Amino acid sequence: MEQTGVNPHVLLFPFPGQGNMNSMLKLAELLCHAGLHITFLNSDYNQQRLLRFTDIQERFSRWPNFRFQTITDGLPADHPRSATTFFQILASMKATAKPIFREIIVSARQESGMWPPLSCIIADGLMPFTIDVAKELNIPLIVFRAISACCVWAFFCLPKLFAAAELPFPGGDEADMDVPIKCVLPGMEGLLRRRDLPSFFRTKDPNDPILKELLVECEKMTQASALIINTFEDLEGPVLTQIRSQVPNLYTVGPLHALLRSQRQHSNSLMAPNIAASNSLWEEDRSCMAWLDSQPPKSVVYMSFGSLVVFGEDTLMEFWHGLVNSGKCFLWAIRRDSITVSGGEGDIILAKMVDGAKERGSLVVEWAPQEEVLSHPAVGVFLTHNGWNSTMESIYAGVPMICWPFFADQQINSRFVSEVWRVGVAMNTCDRRTIERMVRNVESTDELAKLARRSISEAGSSSCNLDRLVQDLRSMTS
């Protein structure tokens, strides 16, 4: 990417989740790479974990135009930052971070010396209060969404779903989830059943505060200067067209992990392409890479449910028996804090799983270097919760998915994976026989992986959109 004119100063502010921070850090690296000055505003809690478990400090110390700044998430250190407390994290950010964020922006606007004054903010769409601050301080703000475009579009469709009486579901969570959505949702006509809508829609309360928050997020998105989504045109074209009717300036720059890797390979930057680029908030167990080297091609089932999912013992046992009964070797990445049994039994269960897997020639680890795992030739299937980063990583690697969505955008991602992109199968119920059957029968195709590769090639849509973003950010300084 050619560097012309002044190099502006941009502040990136992710919502403090693993997937959100991970994808925004990748965007930050790409912008650094283009010569921009980047302040990355991370939560204190995540920053401490990044420093503990990764080489992040060394990696970014090579960039004089990059710096971290931190902000509290307002939660105590021992708070379980998981799916079940997701809305507590949101509420806490809203309550505590807004005034501090404002202070940070005010002072970055007055920057002098080596760092130019801040000229633009890129903030996670989960925190619409950032748009209020940006408007008040008269600074452009671009929204970043770490979820799929189909989910962003489903949020925009909320008023339509209410008007057509599709929402709220009669009985909320207890409603018949297989009922098709009858009203026409442009870009995804005739595709969705109730169960495929984002999980936040499962309410019987028309005044549900979460739905109200989603409406605010959409309204604020339309007030932003632009929108960035970690997706690519060939993947989500029809829904991207719809989103552009609401937010005309939309940059699709995904898959970000692959775009970053490719930019590193093609540049003479100080950042060597072979430097491990982990942004993990858990310690990666790299022993699984050597283990994968010893397995035949496409033979291993890789299973992971990301950073937020929590399991009860029953679900865990269905997965365990399904995998074992399939007779396939598996690599299961399961966080200790995702096993929700009381009295420290989670540790006992995990220890038993580690031993049980070893006896069967398989492997259980707490956290894997997932991007590398998915691109390893031994991996044949990915059993996933369809978090958006995991989904993009799997699509890019050409690994077929077995989808067990848990919450947020995962339900609609799962529907698109199985019915639109046809790169996986969806599990509606979690039982060992279904898992065993799916693990044995899932088929792979790499058509979509080819399109993903094309999008990040030099003239590909995501590369061009990144160039356009950089140019637009430069024009904001003048």
Does 371 interact with ligand UDP (rule: CB under 6 A)? yes
User: Exposure of 241 by Cβ count < 10 A (0-12 exposed, 13-18 middle, 19+ buried)?
Assistant: middle
Q: Is 55 in contact with 47 (CB distance < 8 Å)?
A: no
22 binds ligand UDP (CB under 6 A): yes
In degrees and rounded to multiples of 5, residue 127 shows phi and psi of -125, 75
Is there a contact between 211 and 440 (Cβ–Cβ < 8 Å)?
Answer: no
Query: By CB under 6 A, is residue 304 in contact with ligand UDP?
Result: yes
Instruction: Out of 128, 387, 398, 405, name the contact with ligand UDP by CB under 6 A.
Output: 387
Binding mask 267-296 for ligand UDP (x = CB under 6 A): -------------x----------------
> Do 248 and 162 contact (CB within 8 A), yes or no?
no
* Region binding ligand UDP by CB under 6 A among candidate stretches 163-171, 263-271, 385-393, 457-465: 385-393
Stretch in the footprint of ligand UDP (CB under 6 A) among 157-165, 228-236, 261-269, 362-370: 362-370
When the beta carbons of 105 and 127 are compared against ligand UDP, the nearer one is 127
Cα separation, 195 vs 428, in Å, equals 9
Interface with ligand UDP, residue 338, by CB under 6 A: no
Q: Is residue 153 at the binding interface for ligand UDP, with CB under 6 A as the rule?
A: no
Contacts of 57 (CB under 8 A, 6+ apart): 51
Tell whether residue 198 is a contact of ligand UDP (CB under 6 A).
Answer: no
Contact 59, 275 (CB under 8 A): yes
Tokens representing residue 383 in the block: 């059993």
- Closest residue to ligand UDP, judged by C-beta, is 387
What strands lie across the sheet with 250-252, from one edge to the other?
Answer: 66-71, 37-43, 9-13, 118-124, 141-145, 226-229, 250-252
Asked if 427 and 434 touch (Cβ cutoff 8 Å), the reply is yes
Distance CA 443, CA 422 (A): 10
Site string for ligand UDP, 82-101 (x = CB under 6 A): --------------------
Q: Does 389 bind ligand UDP (CB under 6 A)?
A: yes
How many Å apart are CA 410 and CA 420, to the nearest integer?
Answer: 15
Could you tell me which of 257, 260, 255 has the C-alpha nearest to residue 232?
255
Answer yes or no whether residue 29 interacts with ligand UDP by CB under 6 A.
Answer: no
Of 11-19, 53-61, 432-440, 469-477, which segment contacts ligand UDP by CB under 6 A?
11-19
Per CB under 6 A, 390 contacts ligand UDP: yes
With CB under 6 A as the contact rule, the residue among 108, 211, 350, 368 that binds ligand UDP is: 368
> Considering only residues 124-143, where is the footprint of ligand UDP by CB under 6 A?
none
Q: Does 318 help bind ligand UDP (rule: CB under 6 A)?
A: no
CA 139 and chain centroid, separation: 26
Comparing CB distances to ligand UDP, the nearer of 19 and 380 is 19
Q: Check binding of 42 to ligand UDP (CB under 6 A).
A: no
311 binds ligand UDP (CB under 6 A): no
- Count the site residues for ligand UDP by CB under 6 A: 19
Which of 388, 396, 416, 421 binds ligand UDP (CB under 6 A)? It is 388
Residues 252 and 233: their CA atoms lie apart, in Å, by 7
Q: Least distance in Å: CB of 9 to ligand UDP?
A: 27
37 closest CA partner among 134, 137, 99, 112: 112
Task: Give the nearer residue to ligand UDP in terms of CB position, either 307 or 461.
Answer: 307
Chain residues binding ligand UDP by CB under 6 A are 17-19, 22, 280, 304, 306-308, 333, 367-368, 370-371, 387-390, 393
